[in-house]
């Protein structure tokens, strides 16, 4: 509990019928603040006097209390007031310390994301020592580390993160981004404008447009060995379609690099890029799929290929995931068990394992390594929607959630995560750099941050009025062997961005 300062705002007189005004009665504050006015100026001398911390009050003529009881009560009231005074003075000192630190952070180029510290964060128990006051100050700042750009857990080093290319052509937000696993290596994007586009990574030119869906295209994944793409849509279907592209001659890439560190200054939203031009109108359009997967009764939010590419899995808002035979389009398994809509699905790169995430705050691991049976394991640890869960090399799964955390799990010990990353914004579709085990986190607050598997933040991608995402970042995708761009992000600002991340520098400075 903390003492409140008296409210000195004057109420507006209420006007009564007939034009008369009624002045509201002034109320004396319930708890006095820091006393700088002599008690004699505030109370009648005959009623109250404060002497050496003890209260004395003349007994009213009709008082029925014995003098000993009355004296004890007055002494207790005096002690209560002194405690409130000490607490109030301590809070004032704490506020001054916080203001000083905020000014120091601002002078060093750091900023605080979100609102100012609330009064509730300043309320602590009364203390009479400097060490206790220092401890309370540390506690207050630990509670707000998620809002401070320079996190206490991050490294102090800076990493070179260069924006290389912007892929502009969609007419609505981009939900998903993916990189082909076969030659030629192209970039794929799935958008709410009902299309999926394939891009030249080097030139940023649109190569192919797929327009076979009649709803939002929510995800795109490339076949592991053929020029096939798998897209999931709000029209309750998933499509498999074949593409054939010829890459244009690469042009010199403009130097739009910017050094990114943890002290990056925030940018405004006023400088929106001109995205009205439809660059996809000039590229070849595919309108008919090779195969259509139809079994869901709701939006198909994601789809992926199982290892080998002979089967595909889909995740839907009808709370089920379906496993299909690609050649025959037949439903092999319907995976039930989630209590709410599914949000994502992902397959293991080398084993017949599938992980599905859901709004029910869980994600599930499905094992199809034994053809006769399939087992399922439920992972519980998040407190809000699990937006995605992905495999890494080995026996680890990384999950991201709207509860603003990312958790790293060991498949051999599923009861609790082996690492937890706490952030200041909801997390969307994450991706892990398999070789170096670096997690790219796309956030609702337009940021993209890079962490290692132990939870240490390595960098934040640059975002300013000239570059970076200006709306929610929906997805990230690594392509660690590509010579030009090794990380891609997309968002609801209708653009995808290719980045060059100096991974050796990140790991060396960790």
Tell me if 471 is assigned to some domain: yes
In whole angstroms, give the CA distance from residue 46 to residue 97: 41
In whole angstroms, give the CA distance from residue 267 to residue 449: 16
Residue 61 CB coordination number (10 Å): 5
Residue after which a domain boundary falls, among 117, 147, 177: 147
Q: Are residues 271 and 347 in the same domain?
A: yes
Q: Are residues 253 and 180 in the same domain?
A: yes
Q: Is 328 left (phi over 0), alpha (psi -120 to 50) or beta?
A: alpha
Alpha-carbon Rg of the chain, whole angstroms?
A: 31
Q: Are residues 140 and 194 in the same domain?
A: no
Per-residue pLDDT of the chain (510 residues; tens, 9 = 90+): 444 444 444 444 444 444 444 444 444 444 444 444 444 444 444 444 443 344 444 556 667 788 888 888 888 888 898 888 888 898 888 888 888 888 888 776 544 443 444 444 444 444 444 455 555 555 555 444 444 434 433 333 344 799 999 999 999 999 999 999 999 999 999 999 999 999 999 999 999 999 999 999 999 999 999 999 999 999 999 999 999 998 876 655 444 444 454 444 444 444 455 555 566 678 899 999 999 999 999 999 999 999 999 999 999 999 999 999 999 999 999 999 999 999 999 999 999 999 999 999 999 999 999 887 788 999 999 999 999 999 997 789 999 999 999 999 998 888 899 999 999 999 999 999 988 899 999 999 999 999 999 999 999 999 887 889 999 999 999 998 888 899 999 999 999 999 999 888 777 766
Q: Are residues 139 and 282 in the same domain?
A: no
Q: What CA–CA distances, in Å, run from 335 to 12, 187, 359, 404, 453?
A: 64, 30, 16, 27, 30
Tell me if 485 is assigned to some domain: yes
Q: What is the CATH number of the domain that holds 484?
A: 2.130.10.10
Tell me if 152 is assigned to some domain: no
Q: Contact at 8 Å (CB) between 339 and 358?
A: yes
How many separate domains does the chain show?
A: 2
Residue after which a domain boundary falls, among 88, 114, 147: 147
Q: Are residues 503 and 480 in the same domain?
A: yes
Tell me if 11 is assigned to some domain: no
Q: Are residues 120 and 163 in the same domain?
A: no
Q: Are residues 475 and 423 in the same domain?
A: yes
Tell me if 4 is assigned to some domain: no
Would you state the structure tokens that stand for residue 101, as one six-digit string? 């630190």
In whole angstroms, give the CA distance from residue 84 to residue 90: 10
Q: Are residues 382 and 443 in the same domain?
A: yes
From the list 436, 342, 441, the residue with the least C-alpha distance to 392 is 436
Q: Are residues 218 and 326 in the same domain?
A: yes
Q: Are residues 113 and 255 in the same domain?
A: no
Q: What is the pLDDT of residue 466?
A: 81
- What is the span of the domain harbouring residue 188? 159-508
- Angle formed by the axes of helices 130-143 and 67-107, nearest 10°: 60
In whole angstroms, give the CA distance from residue 443 to residue 30: 45
Q: What is the pLDDT of residue 105?
A: 80
Tell me if 321 is assigned to some domain: yes
Counting Cβ atoms within 10 Å, is residue 40 exposed (0-12), middle (13-18) or buried (19+)? exposed
Tell me if 6 is assigned to some domain: no
Tell me if 289 is assigned to some domain: yes
Residue after which a domain boundary falls, among 124, 147, 170: 147
Q: What is the pLDDT of residue 217?
A: 99
Q: Are residues 237 and 97 in the same domain?
A: no
Q: What is the pLDDT of residue 82?
A: 87
Q: Are residues 252 and 310 in the same domain?
A: yes
Q: What is the pLDDT of residue 403?
A: 98
């Amino acid at each position: 509990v903390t003492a409140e300062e008296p409210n000195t705002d004057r109420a507006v007189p209420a006007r009564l019928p007939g034009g008369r005004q009624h002045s509201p009665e002034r109320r004396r504050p319930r708890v006095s603040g820091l006393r700088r006015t002599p008690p004699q100026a505030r109370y009648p001398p005959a009623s109250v006097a404060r002497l050496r911390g003890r209260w004395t009050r003349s007994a009213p003529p009709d008082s029925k209390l014995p003098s000993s009881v009355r004296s004890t009560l007055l002494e207790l009231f005096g002690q209560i007031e002194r405690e409130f005074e000490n607490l109030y003075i301590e809070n004032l000192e704490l506020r001054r310390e916080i203001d000083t630190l905020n000014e120091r952070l601002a002078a060093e180029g750091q900023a605080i994301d979100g609102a100012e510290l609330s009064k509730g964060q300043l309320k602590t128990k009364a203390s009479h020592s400097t060490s206790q006051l220092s401890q309370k100050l540390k506690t207050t700042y630990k509670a707000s580390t998620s809002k401070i750009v320079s996190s206490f857990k991050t490294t102090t080093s800076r990493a070179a993160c260069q924006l290389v290319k912007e892929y502009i052509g969609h007419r609505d937000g981009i939900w998903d981004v993916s990189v082909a696993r076969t030659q030629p290596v192209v970039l794929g994007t799935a958008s709410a404008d009902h299309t999926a586009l394939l891009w030249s990574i080097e030139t940023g030119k649109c190569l192919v447009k797929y327009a076979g869906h009649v709803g939002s295209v929510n995800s795109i994944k490339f076949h592991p060995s053929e020029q096939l793409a798998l897209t999931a849509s709000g029209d309750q279907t998933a499509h498999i379609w074949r593409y054939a592209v010829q890459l244009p001659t690469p042009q010199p890439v403009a130097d739009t690099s910017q050094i990114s560190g943890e002290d990056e200054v925030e940018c405004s939203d006023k400088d929106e890029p001109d995205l009205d031009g439809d660059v996809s109108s000039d590229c070849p359009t595919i309108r008919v799929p090779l195969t259509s997967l139809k079994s869901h009764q709701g939006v198909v939010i994601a789809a992926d290929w199982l290892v080998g590419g002979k089967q595909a899995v889909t995740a839907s808002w009808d709370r089920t995931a379906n496993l299909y035979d690609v050649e025959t389009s037949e439903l092999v398994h319907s995976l039930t068990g989630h209590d709410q809509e599914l949000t994502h699905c992902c397959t293991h790169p080398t084993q017949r394992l599938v992980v599905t995430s859901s709004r029910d705050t869980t994600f599930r691991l499905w094992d199809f390594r034994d053809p006769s049976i399939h087992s399922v394991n439920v992972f519980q640890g998040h407190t809000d929607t699990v937006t995605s869960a992905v495999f890494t090399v080995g026996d680890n799964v990384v999950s991201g959630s709207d509860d603003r955390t990312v958790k790293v799990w060991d498949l051999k010990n599923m009861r609790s995560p082996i690492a937890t990353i706490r952030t200041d914004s909801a997390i969307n579709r994450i991706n892990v750099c398999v070789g170096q085990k670096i997690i790219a986190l796309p956030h609702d607050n337009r940021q993209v941050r890079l962490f290692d598997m132990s939870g240490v933040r390595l960098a934040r991608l640059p975002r300013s009025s000239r570059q970076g995402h200006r709306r929610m970042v929906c997805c990230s995708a690594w392509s660690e062997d590509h010579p030009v761009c090794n990380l891609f992000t997309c968002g609801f600002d209708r653009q995808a961005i290719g980045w060059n991340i100096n991974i050796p520098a990140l790991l060396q400075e960790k």
